[in-house]
Chain A
Amino acid sequence: MLELNGLRRTYGSILALDDLSFQVPAGRVVGFLGPNGAGKTTTMRAIFGLTELDAGSVRWNGAPVGQAERRRFGYMPEERGLYPGMRVGEQIEYLGRLHGLNASGATAATTTWLERLEIADRRDSKVETLSHGNQQRVQLAAALVHQPELLVLDEPLSGLDPTGIDAIGKVLLDQARAGCCVLFSSHQLDQVEDLCEQVTIIDHGRLVASGTVDELETSGTQRLVVRVEGDRTASWARSIPGVTVSEVKGSAARLVLADSVNSDDVLRAAMHAGRVTEFSFERRRLSEVFREALA
């Protein structure tokens, strides 16, 4: 398990991390969300000692993280880092060896990951000749070649087509199922929702929400979708104290209920207004959770 405790970092007058604490449990894919400038990249760099902290600590399985631990971590930075003129296979092998693999182990692992990421045919190509998507795959292979215990990926899905997102998403899930800790940041909330079991949201360097996707989507105010035949204004709902009509689309009204409102009362009011053809509790989309957390 990765533990980040009270991380604090300033750049001049900018407070990048403000007493940030959260955990990444083993075997989980954790989405790391936040608006631009929230401190996600700084947090990820702090895990690898690339940013010196003013305060706080990064611990792995209860012990402080040092070079020996980092050797067993995999990192994919936001701005991709590969030698443009080096061949794909050699590059991955080289990074594998820097992570401690021997020659044969690095070669075998490189072959395995290039095949899994479907770029085995580009092994002898120079990185600079590959498309953006394939460079992304090479970067991921470089992060995975030594079978890391912790995988930290900064925007791994940006710029990928749906096929690429599916391929990389499957790899991340497989890694987590095999026992790896996976922490990745993304602005593509739909993908995060599909991939992650757990989400951590930060803003201005502070933790604003954290939990499993289920917990976050079902927590907070209740939301209902009620469809009353022939009603296109949802005026029946507007008259109920504590009920807010957030959207009306055709005969379907999306309602937000205050804590004091009983959903049974809403159902009765709807039935009084006409024939109810749909009455369902709505889970919040992750994007809504995100916006509410930052509001």
Chain B
Amino acid sequence: MKVLYIALAAWALAAVRIFMFVRKRRGRAAAASAAESSRAGSDPGGAGYFGRWTRAWASPDRLGDVGEIAMREIKERLRGRIFRIGTLLILIVVALAIIIPKLSSSGGGGGGSTVQTVGVLGGLSPGAKQVVEAATATTKDKVTFSPESSLAVTKTALRTGKLDMAIIDGDEVLLYEPAALASSPADPTLVQNLAAYLGLLSAYHSARLTPAQAGTVTGAAPVPVRTMKPGSTSATKSTSVVGLVLLFFMLTQYCTWILIGVMQEKSSRVVEVLLATVRPIQLLGGKVLGIGLVALGQAALVVGFALVVGKAVGSDLLNGTAPLVLLCELLWLVLGYAFYCWVYAAAGSMAERQDQVQTLALPLSIPILLAYIFSITVASSGSSDVFFKVLAYVPLTAPFCMSALVGLGQVTWWEFVCSVLITIAGTVGMATFAARIYRGAVLRTGARVHFRELFVRGQRPGPQLSPASGDSAE
């Protein structure tokens, strides 16, 4: 895990360096542009019909074709009401997912400060009273003792709920039903502590220990516990599950944006105007990059928000290695998006109507859905098998399966890196394949394009249009 920390830190450092480098270059270019504008301004009559425009064609303040396309995508997405409301809803859900468990853990029967009425039959010796007080102090429960006259009365009081538990003759704890049941009013921790402390007191008496000896034994501190292989705590496991759910929803959402975006460009025919100027791979690359940056921004916002809220409320969900698990899931969101966006883009280029998109989207979502279900199951149960571990190296399923393994602490750094590299290699292959489909399909109008049409002999993969969107060559 230390290696992962180092790798993430190196990645962040590299990103900052690249950002500063690009910014510096842009600054130089802008200065050169200003100088050029100044020169042009001193020669107003020098520009011919095309002169003033040809200067702009080499303009340095442009982001490049891919950058321009990406910037449009970013603006359009950020401006969209659905995106803003969706982001807000995700943040609310994340906040609730962190805050509610915290509130319930601090207010429920698991060690919180509840009011407990303890019946006492047969009285308590001073020592026993001291032990009972010590037991209640550890749970922070507010305990009220109620002397009882008989066992029958005590049982009736327990049955009617007047008492939460009762101590019988200082050597037995009586409950109406097991404390672990949700319907039981007794704090299970208090019950457990009372039983243990009273048992200990009984043992002291039997061993005839002096008060000093009893104090030494009572004050014994547990020896430290160390593990050679880091494992996951329940908090990390919960965080992993929450992260997997977010990963699934976000990945599905972003890939659907790509699918719909490509389909809309095709159906509105704007793709013909765009491809008259830029290459298909530039158009597709810009779209993927733009939506990807919005996706990364939204995911980073959610993760950052989760960390801040978790820290603020002292949530167990972000204890230990849980933040690292979240960061790994963020990384896998990026890798998963990088892989699947090409698949969805290629599918979008083959459709022209909403119903065609839905037909295509269903089979595409199957591997994501299966990987998600497997991963949630494994992350919840805490155990994985060989098949699941193999899926963690398959680019189609790796984003979910490897994230789940990280959450369980069942993966070494080199296994993680290996899976990342395989996914990157798979992404390159998928991008090449998808770009070929996109080029061949995005300008074909009319009926839905089928794979066979794109790859049968004699069909060129390059830009080509159906003859005038129909059956004639207009």
Which A residues are within 8 Å of any B CB, using their own CB? 9, 11, 14-17, 36-42, 45, 48-52, 67, 70-73, 75, 77-86, 94-95, 97-103, 105, 142, 146-147, 149, 178-179, 205
Contact = CB atoms under 8 A, between A and B. Distances in A.
Interface of A is mostly: loop
Given A40-B474, A83-B270, A146-B53, A100 B275 contact: no
A94 B68 contact: yes
A149 B50 contact: yes
A41 B474 contact: yes
B271 A81 contact: yes
Contacts of A16: 467, 473
B49 A100 contact: no
Contact of A100 (B62, B462, B467): B62
B279 interface: yes
B59 A102 contact: yes
B443 to A, nearest CB: 6
A67 B279 contact: yes
A130 B463 CA distance: 30
> Which has the most chain B C-beta neighbours within 10 Å: A72, A78, A98?
A98
Nearest to B61: A102
A95 B275 CA distance: 11
26 contacts: A14-B467, A14-B473, A36-B474, A37-B472, A37-B473, A38-B474, A41-B473, A48-B275, A50-B443, A51-B463, A51-B464, A52-B460, A52-B464, A79-B469, A81-B271, A81-B274, A82-B268, A83-B265, A98-B65, A98-B277, A100-B62, A101-B62, A105-B59, A147-B50, A149-B50, A179-B50
B84 interface: no
A95 B474 contact: no
A76 to B, nearest CB: 8
Contact of B466 (A11, A17, A81): A11
Nearest to B466: A11
A86 B463 contact: no
Contacts of A86: 76
B273 A71 contact: no
A100 B57 contact: yes
Contacts of A41: 467-468, 473-474
Nearest to A50: B463
Contact of A71 (B69, B265, B277): B277
A186 to B, nearest CB: 13
Contact of B270 (A17, A82, A146): A82
Interface in B436-474: 443, 445, 460, 462-469, 472-474
Contacts of B172: none
A70 B462 CA distance: 17
A38 B472 CA distance: 8
A81 B76 contact: no
Across the A-B interface, the 5 shortest Cβ-Cβ residue pairs: A16-B473, A37-B472, A100-B57, A102-B59, A48-B276
Given A102-B59, A105-B59, 14 more contacts: A40-B474, A51-B464, A51-B465, A67-B278, A77-B273, A78-B474, A81-B274, A94-B68, A98-B277, A99-B277, A100-B57, A102-B61, A103-B61, A146-B53
Contact of A147 (B53, B59, B65, B274): B53
B333 to A, nearest CB: 27
A72 B49 CA distance: 13
> Which has the most chain A C-beta neighbours within 10 Å: B56, B279, B465, B466?
B56
B273 A142 contact: yes
Given A83-B270, A101-B57, A78 B468 contact: yes
Given A45-B465, A51-B464, A71 B272 contact: no
Contacts of A101: 53, 56-57, 59, 62
A178 B464 contact: no
B269 interface: yes
A189 to B, nearest CB: 17
Nearest to B54: A72
B403 to A, nearest CB: 35
Nearest to B273: A81
Nearest to B51: A147
Contact of A11 (B33, B68, B467): B467
A38 B53 CA distance: 35
Contact of A42 (B76, B278, B279, B468): B468
A36 B472 contact: yes
